[in-house]
Amino acid sequence: MTILLEGARLAQPKPERWRVAAADLFSSPVNAAVTVVVAGVIVVALWQFARWAVFDAAWSGGPEACRARSGACWPFVRSNAQLMVFGVYPQDLLWRPAVSLVLMAGVGVASMIPRLWSAPLALAWAAVPAAVCILLSGAFFGRPVSTNEWGGLPLTLLVWMIAFAGAFVVAVPLALARRSKMGGLRTAAIILIELVRGVPMLVALYVSRFIVPMMAPAFEVNLFVSVETALILFVASYLAEIIRAGLQSLPRGQTEAASALGLSYWRMTQLVLLPQALRAVIPALVNLGIGVLLSTPLVAVIGMTDFLSAVREAASHEQEWPGCYTTAYFVAGLVFFSICFIASRYSRWLERRLRAAGHA
Amino acid sequence: MRPAMPEHRLRQSLESVQGARRPPPRAAPAIEFVGVHKWYGAFQVLRDIRLAVDPGERVVVCGPSGSGKSTLIRCVNRLEEHQKGTIRVNGVELTASLKQTDRVRREVGMVFQQFNLFPHLTVLENCALAPVWAEGVKRPEAEERAHALLAKVKIADQAHKYPSQLSGGQQQRVAIARALCMNPKIMLFDEPTSALDPEMVKEVLDTMTALASEGMTMIVVTHEMGFARRVADKVVFMDNGEIVEASDPEEFFTAPRQERARQFLSQLLR
C-alpha cells in the first residue's frame, strides 16, 4: 500500500521550488502583507549596507580619502592590518606570531578530518600550544618577549586553544567524578562545577587575576597564566556537564558488556564509554567551542591585547585615521563570524557523516 | 514453537551433545550458590538459592518474567551483588574484592538479550578488545583469535563491518564470538533469542548447540523449550525469586513435580 503511494508521488511532476515558496508566502492577505514588509526591510538594509561597504566607501588613498567619504574606510584596514592581526608584538619579530598562526590553523584543520582522530592529534593539541608559547616568548632560542606584548589574533587563538584543550583534561575526570559511586568525590565535583558555572566569566577572570594573588601573595602570577587558569576551570565546568550528558545517554548494556568481558573501570571508560559519549555530544562541543572563542575578548578587561582589543587599538589613533571604528569592528566581526560559521557548518557535516556511518 | 531443525542436523547435534555429556563424576562444581538471597530495597528478588553447576554441565533456567532468573545468572559474574549467602565460581568466592571479581569475569563469558555490541567498533575490534586490554594478549594474536571464532559462528566475512550493519541474529552471533574470545570456562546466556525476529532464532540456537556439544559449561536463561529439551542436562524452574524445581529435562517436560511448573509449561505450550 505504502509502496504504491510512494510510486504515485514519484510519478507526479515535482513542483518548482519558487512556486511552492510563493504559495506559502502569499497564502493569505495578512501573510502577503507580512512578506512585503519583511522583504522591504531586507532590501533597505542590504542597500544601506552596500552603500556603506561599497558605493560610499573609500577604496584607495590615505586618511584624507576617508575623511571625504561617508562609508567604510578600506585603506585603513590595509595600512593597519599588521597591528590588527598581531597587536603590539615587536615589529621585527613578526615571523614568530605568523608561524604560530600557521601552526594553530594547521591543528585546527587537522582536527576537522575524522581520519586523523588518533593519539598523535591529541598530542598535537598539547604540543602546538606549548610550541606557540615558546615561539612567542622567545624562550630557549631568542630575544625574550614578555606576555604583555603578545597580542592580536595569535593570542586570541592561543588563549582559546589552551583553554579548550586544558578544559578537556580537567573536564573528563570531573565528569567521571560526578558520576562516581564514591559520595565524597561526587560531592566535590558537583560543588566545583556548580560554583564555577554560577559566576560570569568576567568574575572568574577577575578572581583569578586579582583576588587569588591577594589571598596567596607568595605566588607572583603571570597575566597569561592567571587568564588561562580561570578560563580552563570555567570551560571545564561546562564541558564536564556536556560529557556527563554524553555518558548518561549510553545504554546500561554497554557498561555491563564491558564489565562482563573483564575490562577494568578505566579501560571501559577509555575504550567503550568515552568514545561513544563524545561522539554523541559533538554538536554541544562545537557550540561550547564557539561560545568560548566569542568570549575571549573579555580577557581584555584584565589587560590582555587580544584580537578585538588590537583592532580597537588600531582604530583609536584618531589623529591619523579618524572615525575608523565602524570599519575596524566590521572586520573583527567578519573574522570571528568566519571562524564560527566554518565550525558550525563543519559540525553539521560531521553529525550527518557519523549518523550515515551508523555508529554515532 | 520455533521452526524445527532439519532432521539430520538435529540428530547430529543431539549425538554430539550426548557424546559429551557430563565429564567424569564429581569434579568440584564450576558454579555454586549456597543460600543466596538478594533484595532490591525491600523487594526480595532471590530467596535461598541453592544450585551447583558441574564443569561441562548445561543448565537451562526458565520461569515467568520477574521470577529472578536474569538476576540469578547476573550474580554469577557479579553484574548484580547478592546480600546473603555464598557464590563460588571455579572455586573463587565472589565478594566485594575487585580482584576476585575481575578474575571471575575473565573466566565467565556472557551474552545479553540486547547483544550489547560496541557500536563504535567493527566486529573484529569488538572481539579483539577484551583479549588485548583485559588479558594482555598482543593485537595480532587477539585478531587471529577473533577471526577464528568469527569463522566458528559462521560470520567471518563480516569482520570489518560495524554492528549496525548486521542483522539481529548476526549481531548475537558476534556477541557469542566476542565472549568466546576470552577463552571462558563458563558461558552465561541471558535470554539470547528474546530480542530476535523469529527467523533469526535458529541460527543463534544452532551456535549455542554447537558450543554445548564441545563441553562448555553453560547457564542459559531462555523460553526456548525445544532448545532446553535437546541440550540441557538440567532444567531449573524459578518463580517468585526461588528455585521451585531443578530436574532432568525429560522429567521436567513430561512430568513436572510442581504445580507452578505445570502451569508455566501449559501456558508456554498453548
Mean pLDDT for A158-173 is: 93
Percentages (nearest 5) of helix, strand, coil residues in chain A: 80, 0, 20
How far, in Å, are A80, A135, A155, A313, B228 from residue A86 at the CA level?
Answer: 10, 14, 8, 11, 76
State the amino acid at position A157 in one-letter form: L
Query: Looking at CA atoms only, how far is residue B105 from chain A in angstroms?
Result: 5
What is the per-residue pLDDT for A254?
96
How far, in Å, are B10, B63, B199 from residue B227 at the CA level?
Answer: 11, 15, 15
Please report residues of B whose CB lies closer than 8 A to that of A114: none
* Other Cβ atoms within 10 Å of A88 Cβ, number: 15
What is the per-residue pLDDT for B13?
47
Cβ pair B183, B134 in contact under 8 A: no
pLDDT tens digits, A172-206? 999 999 998 888 999 999 999 999 999 998 898 88
**B18, pLDDT greater than 90:** no
Q: Kindly report the three-state secondary structure assignment for every residue of chain B.
A: CCCCCCHHHHHHHHHHHHHCCCCCCCCCCCEEEEEEEEEECCEEEEEEEEEEECCCCEEEEECCCCCCHHHHHHHHCCCCCCCEEEEEECCEECCCCHHHHHHHHHHEEEECCCCCCCCCCCHHHHHHHHHHHHHCCCHHHHHHHHHHHHHHCCCHHHCCCCHHHCCHHHHHHHHHHHHHCCCCCEEEEECCCCCCCHHHHHHHHHHHHHHHHCCCEEEEECCCHHHHHHHCCEEEEEECCEEEEEECHHHHHHCCCCHHHHHHHHHHCC
What percentage of chain A exceeds 90 in pLDDT?
A: 38
What is the per-residue pLDDT for A286?
86
pLDDT band at A358 (very low <50, low <70, confident <90, very high): low
Q: Is A253 on the interface with B (CB under 8 A)?
A: yes
Question: What secondary structure does DSSP assign to A225-249, as a single string?
Answer: HHHHHHHHHHHHHHHHHHHHHHHHT
- Nearest Cα neighbor of A237 from A182, A195, A271, A285 is A195
Q: Which residues pair with B86 in a beta bridge?
A: B34
Mean pLDDT for A339-356 is: 84
What percentage of chain A exceeds 70 in pLDDT?
A: 94
What is the per-residue pLDDT for A222?
80
What is the per-residue pLDDT for A139?
83
Q: Is A249 on the interface with B (CB under 8 A)?
A: no
C-alpha cell at A145: 618577549
* Other Cβ atoms within 10 Å of B102 Cβ, number: 16
pLDDT tens digits, A237-271? 999 999 999 999 999 999 999 999 999 999 999 99
Query: Looking at CA atoms only, how far is residue A239 from chain B in angstroms?
Result: 22
Q: Is A275 on the interface with B (CB under 8 A)?
A: yes
What is the per-residue pLDDT for A14?
64
**A330, pLDDT greater than 50:** yes
What is the per-residue pLDDT for A314?
86
How far, in Å, are A54, B18, B79, B222 from residue B209 at the CA level?
Answer: 79, 11, 25, 13
**B22, pLDDT greater than 60:** no
Q: Kindly report the three-state secondary structure assignment for every residue of A123-192.
A: HHHHHHHHHHHHHHHCCCCCCCCCHHHCEHHHHHHHHHHHHHHHHHHHHHHHHHHHCCCCHHHHHHHHHH
More confident residue, A119 or B13: A119
Cβ pair B30, B89 in contact under 8 A: yes
pLDDT band at B210 (very low <50, low <70, confident <90, very high): very high
Least confident of A249-258, B24-33, B45-54: B24-33
What is the per-residue pLDDT for A13?
61
pLDDT tens digits, B168-196? 999 999 999 999 999 999 999 999 999 99
Interface pTM (ipTM) of the complex?
Answer: 0.85
What is the per-residue pLDDT for B157?
92
What is the per-residue pLDDT for A283?
84
Q: Is A264 on the interface with B (CB under 8 A)?
A: yes
**Whole-angstrom Cα distance, residue A194 to residue A202?**
16
Please report residues of A whose CB lies closer than 8 A to that of B117: 257
Please state the length of chain A: 360
C-alpha cell at B4: 524445527
| A34-37: Cβ within 8 A, 24+ apart | none
Mean pLDDT for B207-219 is: 93
pLDDT tens digits, A90-140? 888 889 999 999 999 999 899 888 888 888 888 999 999 999 999 988 888
How far, in Å, are A207, A211, A239 from residue A214 at the CA level?
Answer: 10, 5, 29
pLDDT tens digits, A71-95? 888 888 888 888 888 888 888 888 9
More confident residue, A217 or A305: A305
What is the per-residue pLDDT for B270?
60
Mean pLDDT for B65-72 is: 92
State the amino acid at position A59 in one-letter form: W
**Whole-angstrom Cα distance, residue A240 to residue A172?**
6
pLDDT band at A3 (very low <50, low <70, confident <90, very high): very low
- Tell if the CB–CB gap between A263 and B106 is shorter than 8 Å: no
A124-151 in b/e burial notation, b at 16+ Cβ within 10 A?
bbeebbeebbebbbeeeeeeebebebbb
| Chain B interface, Cβ < 8 Å to A | 77, 79, 102, 105-106, 108-110, 112, 114, 116-120, 129-130, 133-135, 162-165, 175, 178-179, 182
Q: How far from chain centre, in Å, is Cα B97?
A: 24
What is the per-residue pLDDT for A10?
52
What is the per-residue pLDDT for A11?
52
What is the per-residue pLDDT for A49?
92
* Other Cβ atoms within 10 Å of A152 Cβ, number: 26
Query: Looking at CA atoms only, how far is residue B133 from chain A in angstroms?
Result: 7
Q: Where are the beta strands (DSSP E) in chain A?
A: 151, 305-306
What is the per-residue pLDDT for A247?
95
Mean pLDDT for B102-131 is: 93
- Work out the mean pLDDT of chain B and round it to a whole number: 88
pLDDT band at A4 (very low <50, low <70, confident <90, very high): very low
- Tell if the CB–CB gap between B162 and A251 is shorter than 8 Å: no
CA-CA-CA-CA dihedral for A212, A217, A223, A225, to nearest 10: -70
Sign of CA dihedral B132, B135, B136, B137: negative
Query: Looking at CA atoms only, how far is residue A161 from chain B in angstroms?
Result: 27
**Whole-angstrom Cα distance, residue B65 to residue A174?**
39
- Nearest Cα neighbor of B217 from B76, B99, B70, B87 is B76
What is the per-residue pLDDT for A80?
86
Q: How many CA atoms lie within 13 A of B49 on its CB side?
A: 36
Cβ pair B134, A257 in contact under 8 A: no
What is the per-residue pLDDT for B60?
95
What percentage of chain B exceeds 90 in pLDDT?
A: 70
pLDDT tens digits, B86-108? 999 998 999 888 888 988 999 99
Q: How many CA atoms lie within 13 A of A22 on its CB side?
A: 5
C-alpha cell at A107: 591543528
Cβ neighbours of residue B72 under 8 Å, at least 6 residues apart? Answer: B33, B46, B49, B51, B61, B221, B238
Query: Looking at CA atoms only, how far is residue B132 from chain A in angstroms?
Result: 10
Cβ pair B246, B237 in contact under 8 A: yes
What is the per-residue pLDDT for A7?
45
State the amino acid at position B121 in one-letter form: L
Crossing angle between the packed helical segments A307-315 and A152-178, to the nearest 10 degrees: 150
Cβ pair A204, A163 in contact under 8 A: no
CA-CA-CA-CA dihedral for A137, A138, A139, A140, to nearest 10: 170
C-alpha cell at B68: 529472578
What is the per-residue pLDDT for B1?
45
pLDDT tens digits, B251-263? 898 888 888 888 8
Cβ pair B124, B160 in contact under 8 A: yes
What is the per-residue pLDDT for A15?
66
- Tell if the CB–CB gap between B116 and A261 is shorter than 8 Å: no
Crossing angle between the packed helical segments B139-152 and B168-180, to the nearest 10 degrees: 130
Q: Which residues pair with B93 in a beta bridge?
A: B88
Mean pLDDT for A28-44 is: 92
- Work out the mean pLDDT of chain A and round it to a whole number: 86
Please report residues of B whose CB lies closer than 8 A to that of A258: 118
What percentage of chain B exceeds 70 in pLDDT?
A: 89
- Tell if the CB–CB gap between B164 and A256 is shorter than 8 Å: no
Phi, psi of B69 (to 5 degrees): -70, -40
Residue of A nearest to B119 (CA): A359
